[in-house]
Structure 1
Amino acid sequence: MDWKRWYSELEQDDEAWEVSEEVVLRGVAQLFFCGQNSRVEVEFIVKADSEEQAQAIQEPTEKQKRIWEQYMSYASTIHSQILKSIHHHYTSIVEKYRNAYSSWGEDLDEYAPYVERAEQLLERLQPVSILISDASEEDELYLNFSCSWDREHGLGVHIKQMKVEHIQGAYTLYDLE
């Protein structure tokens, strides 16, 4: 992949400065996650100290580029680790979701079935986005998934130094930082 060209084609969030002191650069990438080919939105979040600085941001920082390229280089190894970690997390929370779906009169096995192997989750899990902030002190990124058991919040995986650091609902994971 020609990352240099891809970086130059990222779209800048037009209204970023009005909402925060960060600029979001967005693009789409093909991701091959454990046998699934997915198009994911990639967001690079870059801090800006002024509106002028925000408008001048055209590409991710060198550190963000390095993290992204390292992630993509080791994706197949990292993805198998992520899937195993998601499976471990899922087995610890499945009862909570089964109880909720039961109380709503929903089919438990459709949304939160018992699974024995990590690969069984692949039909219930879809990568949707990746976030890389320039504010992190260590090499880290966040992968967000849609999933059958939490259709509202999805699943977030915090990766630090190319290892799974934490797993939680996608929208609540960022509150930990």
Structure 2
Amino acid sequence: MSNAQNIIAEIDTFLDKSMLRKSKITKQELINFIEQKWQEADKEKYNIHQGSIFIGRMINEYININDFENMMRWIVEMDAHSLSKKHPAYINSYYNGECCLECGNEEKALEFFKLCYAENKDYIFTRAPFCYQFFNKHLENPKELTNKKDSDEEGFDIIFELKYWQDFFKENEKLYYNLLDEDGEIVEKPTTDQQNGLEYLQKNQEIILRNLLNELLKKYPDLQNIYNYSEENKQDFMPDLKGIQDFLDLLTPINFYVTSVIKEGYPYIGFGFSCSWDSEHGLGVMTHKDRIIEIAGADIAFDTWTAEKDLK
């Protein structure tokens, strides 16, 4: 009987623990754990989708410490995974070349890029600029390159400072927010009502956060029952709490959305958090002024239907 699924689950849990705010797991301990567990798993690990994610994680870990030899060893593991076998060879060659270039080995990167180019002459020029610019210098007839706008520039992420929130969560990072139009699309400039909401949030940030955490504290026992962590993992991911201060180690505010749903001249605003008990879906809270409308997964933060339902 295969042991791969259970070992993949162990790795997943360990990774989740390493990302907790209170985690003391070092990068080297993380690398050592995955190395050991990966060796223990049988060949079925190459057929499990999550396995390819762990391989990619290890490739990046070794790139970050500039360990080319181990990075290449994990690239071989990626090539052995069933997911890689579903891709055209030129896609795998490009990926390998990008990793080699990031790890500082230009000679090996060029080797992979040439394989990619031989099979598909256009693909590399649709990928990361640092890769195709490097490769283009080695072509006998270099391609004329045009300046491309990074698609990540679209979206109008705007920085917003909530000093009380930063102090509470002991975070220096400012929050990003998006303004949503009537179709739920991100826009650049706030309406008068949305600007009212931003000003209200700035002036009332303490009471909003306290109301939010108090409401979450009431709901927390039900969430514990839903997630039903084992006694072994409960203390790490979803421990019993005495008060809102205990959320410090469990939550991190990420962003918020100012919707175009308006009530009494103020918009509904949704907040997104990462949370220890659900690294995949996170936590979302929809609010109106200092009133908490709903708490659910992170997608509730931009769910205008929830806001519109509250209007009725």
Higher relative CO (Cα under 8 Å, sequence separation at least 6) belongs to 1
1:1-177 → structure 2 map (5 Å cutoff): 24-31=155-162, 32-33=164-165, 35-36=168-169, 37=171, 38-47=173-182, 58-97=188-227, 99=228, 101-102=229-230, 107-134=233-260, 136-138=261-263, 139-172=267-300, 174=303, 176-177=305-306
Higher share in helix:
2
In 2, Cα distance between equivalents of 1:79 and 1:172: 17
Higher share in strand:
1
Q: Which residue of 1 aligns with 2:106?
A: none
Residue 58 of structure 1 and its aligned partner are, at CA, apart by 4.6
- SS at 2:258's partner residue? strand
Unaligned stretches of 5+ in structure 2? 1-151, 307-312
How has the CA–CA distance of structure 1 residues 175 and 151 changed in structure 2, closer, same or farther, with 3 Å as cutoff?
A: farther
How has the CA–CA distance of structure 1 residues 58 and 79 changed in structure 2, closer, same or farther, with 3 Å as cutoff?
A: closer
1:140–1:162 CA contact under 8 A, matched in 2: no
2:160–2:174 CA contact under 8 A, matched in 1: yes
2:285–2:300 CA contact under 8 A, matched in 1: no
Unaligned stretches of 5+ in structure 1? 1-12, 16-23, 49-53
In 1, Cα distance between equivalents of 2:300 and 2:182: 21
Q: Radius of gyration: which is bigger? A: 2
Supply the AA of the counterpart residue of 1:159. Answer: T
How has the CA–CA distance of structure 1 residues 112 and 58 changed in structure 2, closer, same or farther, with 3 Å as cutoff?
A: closer
Q: Which residue of 1 aligns with 2:134?
A: none
* Count of aligned pairs: 146
2:178–2:256 CA contact under 8 A, matched in 1: yes
Q: TM-score, normalised by structure 2?
A: 0.42
Supply the AA of the counterpart residue of 1:27. Answer: I
Supply the AA of the counterpart residue of 1:40. Answer: L
Q: TM-score, normalised by structure 1?
A: 0.71
In 2, Cα distance between equivalents of 1:58 and 1:158: 21
Identity, % of aligned positions: 23
Residue 14 of structure 1 and its aligned partner are, at CA, apart by 6.2
CA RMSD of aligned residues (A): 2.6
Residue 46 of structure 1 and its aligned partner are, at CA, apart by 2.4
Residue 162 of structure 1 and its aligned partner are, at CA, apart by 2.3
- SS at 1:35's partner residue? helix
User: After TM superposition, what 4+ stretches of structure 1 lie above 4 angstroms from structure 2?
Assistant: none
Q: Which residue of 2 aligns with 1:18?
A: none
Residue 172 of structure 1 and its aligned partner are, at CA, apart by 4.7
Supply the AA of the counterpart residue of 1:41. Answer: Y
